[in-house]
Amino acid sequence: MPEEIQQWDEQIAHTGQISLADGVTLLPLTPLIGAEVHGLNLTKPLSSASLTALTDAFLRYKVLMIRSGGQWKMDVDEHTGLCKDLSNHWGLSADTEQKEMNNSEGLTVHPFLPWLRHYPHVWVTSSVASGGQQYQLRSSEDVENYEPFAGQKEARKRKPPRSAGDNSKAPVPQYRPGSFGGAALNQDTVNNGANAFHFDDGFFHHPPSAVVLNSVVLPKVGGDTIFADMGAAYRGLHPDLQKKAKSLTQTMDWRHVFPVWEIEAERRASEGDESFRDHVEQLIEDYPPSRQPVIRQHPVTGELSIYTNLGFTREIDDVSKEESDQLMATLCRMAERPEYQVRMRWLNEGDVCIYDNRITNHYAVADYGHVGPRSLHHIALLGEPTLNAYGEVVG
């Protein structure tokens, strides 16, 4: 950390806030993690002084909520431009085959979730139109022809109407126990995909370094996002467990979170359509399980953190299933301590949240299904090779 960042804590103790370049103010929400940024307008290009200040604040507080005050709202191109500026400033590039395959404007394309028409790097996390499967787009022609949620619309058309009170044909939940869906709450009927602590996209061999969320539609209340500082969580472990965990790796697999792809392939094959099964087999080949350290060293700050993921982790390697389950439960539970958390409330449409996906876990609170719709645009920045606690490349 640069020396001036180390002096921030002293300034915070006196004033509770920090003045950055260009009239921007940083308001920490806890001593460890999370800060609000006031006085920045993201619809205008950032000066290099602002980019540097934002980067320093991001590395220190791990999660930034940039408040719009209802005064501005980025459109998709401005959102994309901000992410490209940050990627350039941080020196992120598509330097592997897997990253090249998922590259849209130098940003990550999610192969298993629906994205915005003409913007393959924007995943719409939305209670208005969530979930669903689609073919991975492999060429600009595919992108042009892509119809969002076409699979879902088709499925709805095929579904025979159900008589009132008939629960015999209620859909069977397609999440495996232990994946995100297991923690879904009753009052939210639509967003049950991210309400368990996790970091994003561990199935990539180089999971995204950071994510920039742009709020497009917000309920008047509810739908907060909780973030946990997994660096602090690591330091909270017993030294014996720290020592053991530092030597471990884990296997992450997209099929653990999205079994729906294989289920759908089988369903279509049973109706005589083999093409979707061929497509899923190609995905399995393109995205083989990733091996990741259980304790990760941050590539910029060097800080160690617990790097587990309830959704994507299939198992901890080279230990028994029982020990793997026990270790996962212990390590993942560390995210639940309020001392390590910040709860970000989305106040105004236009608010933007940037989180460090290398050292935080997050939990999308699913409490707003009956209050109103919520839609965030999610762009993931490319990741770096993952380092274990000793600085050796694992992922």
* Contact status, residue 315 vs residue 187, Cβ threshold 8 Å: no
| Shorter beta-carbon distance to Fe ion: residue 67 or 362 | 362
Q: Give how many residues touch Fe ion by CB under 5 A.
A: 2
52: nearest Cα among 10, 91, 20: 20
3-state secondary structure 314-357: EEECCCCHHHHHHHHHHHHHHHHCHHHEEEECCCCCCCEEEEEC
Binding of residue 310 to Fe ion (CB under 5 A): no
Q: Residue 314, Cα to own-chain centre: how many angstroms?
A: 18
Beta carbon of residue 241, minimum distance to Fe ion (angstroms, whole number) = 26
Q: Return the residue of 26, 194, 328, 380 that touches Fe ion, per CB under 5 A.
A: 194
Q: Decide whether 28 or 223 has the Cβ nearer to Fe ion.
A: 223
Which of 192-200, 232-240, 252-260, 291-299 is the region at the interface with Fe ion (rule: CB under 5 A)?
192-200
Q: Which stretch binds Fe ion (CB under 5 A): 171-179, 200-208, 290-298, 322-330?
A: 200-208
Candidates 62-70, 110-118, 195-203, 381-389: pick the segment binding Fe ion (CB under 5 A).
195-203
Q: x/- site string to Fe ion, residues 257 to 286, per CB under 5 A?
A: ------------------------------
Q: Considering the rule CB under 5 A, would residue 201 count as an interface residue with Fe ion?
A: no
331 phi and psi angles, rounded to 5 deg:
-70, -45
By CB under 5 A, tell whether 351 contacts Fe ion: no
Q: What torsion do the CA atoms of 230, 233, 234, 238 make, to the nearest 10 degrees?
A: -160
CB of 306 to Fe ion, least distance (A): 16
Q: Where does this chain touch Fe ion (CB under 5 A) — which range of 11-19, 45-53, 64-72, 187-195?
A: 187-195
Q: Where are the alpha helices (DSSP H) in 227-289?
A: 230-235, 239-246, 254-257, 260-270, 275-286
Q: How many CB atoms lie within 10 A of CB 359?
A: 30
Task: Give yes or no for residue 124 binding Fe ion (CB under 5 A).
Answer: no
Scanning 68-76, 190-198, 264-272, 353-361 for contacts with Fe ion by CB under 5 A, the matching segment is: 190-198
Three-class secondary structure of residue 107 per DSSP = strand
Output 234 or 363, the one with its CB closest to Fe ion: 363
Rounded CA gap, 62 and 6, in Å? 15
Alpha-carbon gap, residue 352 to 333, rounded angstroms: 27
Number of Cα atoms under 13 Å in the Cβ half of residue 246 = 16
Question: Measured from the CB of residue 108, what is the shortest distance to Fe ion in angstroms?
Answer: 13
Q: Are 45 and 78 in contact (CB under 8 A)?
A: no
Please identify, using beta-carbon distances, which residue of 18 and 376 lies nearer to Fe ion: 376
Q: Give Cβ neighbours of residue 97 (< 8 Å, ≥ 6 apart).
A: none
- From candidates 200, 253, 351, 356, binder to Fe ion by CB under 5 A: 200
CB of 311 to Fe ion, least distance (A): 8
Closest approach of Fe ion to the CB of residue 112, in Å = 13
Instruction: Summarize as ranges the residues that interact with Fe ion (CB under 5 A).
Output: 194, 200
